[in-house]
Structure 1
Amino acid sequence: MKKISTERKLLQYALYFKKSILIGVICLVLAVALELTGPFIAKRLIDEHIVGIEDQWYQVETKDQYTVAYDGEWYKRVDRLDGTENTLAVATILQVNRSYYFVNEELPTTGNREIDGGQLILKSPEQTYQVEAKSLSLAQLFRFFQPEIPSIYWLLGIYVGLLLIAAAFQFTHTFLLQKSSNRIIRKMRNDLFTHIQRLPVQYFVNQPAGKIVARVTNDTEAIRELYVRVLATFVTSFFYMAGIYVALFLLDVRLALMCLLLVPIIYVWMKLYKRYGGKYNKVVRSTVSDMNGNINEAIQGMSIIQAYRQEQQTSNDFEKLNERHFTYQRKLVRLSALTSWNLVNVLRNIAFVGFLWYFGSQSLGAEGVVTVGVLYAFVDYLNRLFQPITDLVNQLPQLEEARVSAGRVFQLLDEESETMDTGKIKRYDGHIVFDQVTFAYDEGNDVLKDISFDIRPGQTAAFVGHTGSGKSSIMNLLFRFYDPQRGSITIDGHSTKDWSRQQVRSHMGIVLQDPFIFSGTILSNVTMHDDRISREMAKEALKAVGADRFIEKLPKGYDTPVKEKGDSLSMGERQLISFARALAFDPAILILDEATANIDTETEQMIQKALEVLKRGRTTLVIAHRLSTIQQADQIFVLNHGTMVEQGTHKELIAQGGQYYQMYQMQQGSVKVSAM
Structure 2
Amino acid sequence: MSKVTGQAFNYNLLRRVLQYIKPYKKLFYASFVLTILSAIIAPIRPWLIGHTLDEYIFKSDYNGLVTMTIFMVVLLVIQTITQYLQLLTTNMLGQSAIRDLRINVFKHITKLKLRFFDKTPIGQLITRTVSDMETISEIFAEGLVAILGDLLQVAVILTWMFYKDWELTVVVLLPIPFLILATSIFQKAIKGAFQSVRTEVSNLNTFLQEHITGIAIIQYFAREYQEYKKFKAINGRYRDANIKSNWYYSIFFPVVEIISATSLGLLVWYGAKSVLSKPMDVTPGTIAEFILYLNMLFRPIRELADKFNTLQMGMVGAERVFKVLDTQDTTENKGVLKPEKLDGSIQFKHVWFTYQTDLKSATQDNAVEEPVSYVLKDISFEVKAGQTVAFVGATGAGKSTIINILNRFYDIQKGEVSVDGVLIQDYELNFLRSKIATVLQDVFLFSDTIFNNITLNNPSISYEKVIDAAKKVGAHDFIEKLPGGYNYNVMERGATLSAGQAQLISFIRALVYDPAILVLDEATSSVDTESEMMIQSAIEKLMEGRTSVVIAHRLSTIQKADKIIVLDKGEIMEMGTHHELLRLDGYYKTLYDLQFSSSGILNEQEK
Distance change in 2, residues 1:540/1:367 (3 Å): closer
Residue 24 of structure 2 is matched in structure 1 by 17
- C-alpha contact (below 8 Å) 1:281/1:400 kept by paired residues: no
Residue 380 of structure 1 is matched in structure 2 by 292
| Distance apart, 1:363 and its partner CA | 7.0
Q: Which of the numbers 555, 562, 571 marks the counterpart of 1:634?
A: 562
Residue 14 of structure 2 is matched in structure 1 by 7
Distance change in 2, residues 1:258/1:585 (3 Å): farther
The worse-fitting range, judged by mean Cα deviation, of 554-563 and 595-604 is 554-563
| Structure with higher RCO (Cα < 8 A, 6+ apart) | 2
Which secondary structure does the structure 2 equivalent of 1:338 belong to? helix
Match status 1:625 vs 2:553:
yes
Structure 2 Cα separation of the partners of residues 256 and 323 of structure 1? 48
Which secondary structure does the structure 2 equivalent of 1:520 belong to? coil
Say what the alpha-carbon RMSD is for the aligned residues: 2.7
| Distance apart, 1:300 and its partner CA | 2.2
| Distance apart, 1:628 and its partner CA | 1.1
Residue 402 of structure 1 is matched in structure 2 by 314
Residue 484 of structure 1 is matched in structure 2 by 412
Q: Which of the numbers 511, 533, 551 marks the counterpart of 1:583?
A: 511
- C-alpha contact (below 8 Å) 2:187/2:305 kept by paired residues: no
Q: Deviations over 1:620-649 (max 9, x none)?
A: 000110111111111111111011111111
Match status 1:328 vs 2:241:
yes
Structure 2 Cα separation of the partners of residues 381 and 581 of structure 1? 69
Which secondary structure does the structure 1 equivalent of 2:391 belong to? strand
- C-alpha contact (below 8 Å) 1:281/1:404 kept by paired residues: no
Residue 287 of structure 1 is matched in structure 2 by 200
Distance change in 2, residues 1:633/1:263 (3 Å): farther
Structure 1 Cα separation of the partners of residues 171 and 566 of structure 2? 86
Distance change in 2, residues 1:656/1:384 (3 Å): same
The worse-fitting range, judged by mean Cα deviation, of 651-660 and 153-162 is 153-162
Residue 463 of structure 1 is matched in structure 2 by 391
Match status 1:516 vs 2:448:
no
Aligned residue-pair number: 578
Q: Deviations over 1:319-375 (max 9, x none)?
A: 221222222222212222222x22321321332344356546777535972233323
Structure 2 Cα separation of the partners of residues 519 and 670 of structure 1? 42
Computing the radius of gyration from Cα coordinates, the structure with the larger value is 1
Q: How does 1:116-195 map to 2 (within 5 A)?
A: 145=60, 148-195=61-108
- Whichever residue aligns with residue 502 of structure 2, its letter is R
Structure 1 Cα separation of the partners of residues 95 and 178 of structure 2? 33
Which secondary structure does the structure 1 equivalent of 2:514 belong to? coil
- C-alpha contact (below 8 Å) 2:564/2:578 kept by paired residues: yes
Match status 1:441 vs 2:355:
yes
Distance change in 2, residues 1:597/1:243 (3 Å): same
| Distance apart, 1:426 and its partner CA | 2.7
TM-score in terms of structure 2 length? 0.88
Q: How does 1:249-648 map to 2 (within 5 A)?
A: 249-257=162-170, 269=182, 271-339=184-252, 341-356=253-268, 358-359=270-271, 364-365=276-277, 369-395=281-307, 398-416=310-328, 417-418=330-331, 424-443=338-357, 444-648=372-576
Which secondary structure does the structure 2 equivalent of 1:595 belong to? coil
The worse-fitting range, judged by mean Cα deviation, of 148-157 and 177-186 is 148-157
| Distance apart, 1:260 and its partner CA | 6.2
Q: Deviations over 1:288-311 (max 9, x none)?
A: 222222222222222222222111
Distance change in 2, residues 1:267/1:227 (3 Å): farther
Match status 1:215 vs 2:222:
no
- Whichever residue aligns with residue 381 of structure 1, its letter is Y
Structure 2 Cα separation of the partners of residues 613 and 452 of structure 1? 28
Distance change in 2, residues 1:191/1:259 (3 Å): farther
Structure 1 Cα separation of the partners of residues 511 and 11 of structure 2? 47
Distance change in 2, residues 1:494/1:517 (3 Å): same
Structure 2 Cα separation of the partners of residues 654 and 309 of structure 1? 45
Which secondary structure does the structure 1 equivalent of 2:262 belong to? helix
Which secondary structure does the structure 2 equivalent of 1:513 belong to? coil
Distance change in 2, residues 1:567/1:345 (3 Å): same
- Whichever residue aligns with residue 44 of structure 2, its letter is T
- C-alpha contact (below 8 Å) 1:198/1:420 kept by paired residues: no
The worse-fitting range, judged by mean Cα deviation, of 13-22 and 433-442 is 13-22
Which secondary structure does the structure 1 equivalent of 2:375 belong to? strand
Structure 1 Cα separation of the partners of residues 255 and 16 of structure 2? 31
Q: Deviations over 1:479-528 (max 9, x none)?
A: 00010011111111211112243232121100000111112222221111
- C-alpha contact (below 8 Å) 1:489/1:496 kept by paired residues: yes
Structure 2 Cα separation of the partners of residues 287 and 41 of structure 1? 50
Residue 39 of structure 1 is matched in structure 2 by 46
Q: Deviations over 1:9-45 (max 9, x none)?
A: 3333344423213212322322332332122223333
Which ranges of structure 2 fall in alignment gaps of 5 or more residues? 4-9, 358-371, 603-607
Residue 88 of structure 1 is matched in structure 2 by none
Greater share of strand: 1
Structure 1 Cα separation of the partners of residues 98 and 304 of structure 2? 22
Greater share of helix: 2
Distance change in 2, residues 1:422/1:336 (3 Å): farther
Distance change in 2, residues 1:405/1:270 (3 Å): farther
- C-alpha contact (below 8 Å) 1:34/1:163 kept by paired residues: no
Structure 2 Cα separation of the partners of residues 670 and 294 of structure 1? 45
Work out the percentage of aligned pairs sharing the same amino acid. Answer: 37
Distance change in 2, residues 1:213/1:616 (3 Å): same
Residue 97 of structure 1 is matched in structure 2 by none
